Amino acid sequence: MNTTLLLNVEEQIVIIELGNIKLKGELVVPAGAEGIVLFAHGSASSSYSTRNHYLAHVLRQEAKLATLLIDLLTKEEEAIDQRTKHFRSDISFLSNRLVAVTDWLSENPYTRHLKLGYFGADTGAGAALLAAATRPMVVKAIVSRSGQTDLVSEAIACVQAPTLLIVGGNDLPIIAMNEDALANIPVLNKQLEIISGATHQFGEPGALEEVARLASQWFKHYLQSSQPGERDLDNMSLN
């Protein structure tokens, strides 16, 4: 696995080479960051998603966390996916790409000291849960937004990272599958947060801001270091 870092003033553009495949992303590491959040995009979303950029900005500003927004598909694969929707529904494929990026983060001198969390959306959330089950010693926290958790129902039983599931109150099918997922995640540190009045994309006024607040608190809690006994990990409140 090779990597190229193109340094800009405010960010690092990373190009991760996996054989003949090159994945491009945006890495930002604030001064003093102790953790990093890797975004796993779902459906037709990409690293250019305004929602993901907003959420990443909040995590950097409010929780002082590093973020990596990266496209798990090449441009050629994206073109095929726009026509066939093949790759976005192939959770194993997306998970394997996510694991490869995770391994790169664990080896890269800029990021290997940072505690790692996943922020997945839609099918990307399913890929994040599957990848977390594959790298249980590396992934320290997961946040799922409108996650397609039914696609990885068997893998959920192997997830060991603290997991926050966020769904919209009007997104009834997703609520049902996330309730099932919550029951099957074996860790004690897990929560389901339902945002009243929100739909699948959280486009309602204040909805995405609430997603950002919940995610920021969760990642800050689990990706920042603390002294023994300083935090009660089994009884975290997001209110």
Residue 33 and residue 36: Cα distance in Å, rounded? 8
Q: pLDDT of 155-209, one tens digit each?
A: 999 999 999 999 999 999 999 999 999 999 999 999 999 999 999 999 999 999 9
Strand, coil or helix: what is 154? Answer: helix
**pLDDT attached to residue 82:** 79
| Class of the domain covering 30-223 | alpha beta
**pLDDT attached to residue 12:** 85
Question: For the chain, which residues make up each domain, given as ranges?
Answer: 30-223
Residue by residue, DSSP assigns 7-64 as E-SS-EEEEEEETTEEEEEEEE--TT--EEEEEE--TT--TT-HHHHHHHHHHHHHH-
Residue 50 and residue 85: Cα distance in Å, rounded? 21
Residue 148 and residue 169: Cα distance in Å, rounded? 15
Q: pLDDT of 84-128, one tens digit each?
A: 777 777 899 999 999 999 999 999 998 999 999 999 999 999 999
Checking if the pLDDT of 228 tops 60, the result is: no
Mean pLDDT, the chain, integer: 88
Summarize the chain as % helix, strand, coil (round to 5): 40, 25, 35
**pLDDT attached to residue 87:** 75
Whether the Cβ atoms of residue 51 and residue 68 lie closer than 8 Å to each other = no
Checking if the pLDDT of 3 tops 80, the result is: no
**Which residues partner with 67 through β-bridges?**
28, 37
Give the side-chain half-sphere CA count within 13 A for 233. Answer: 18
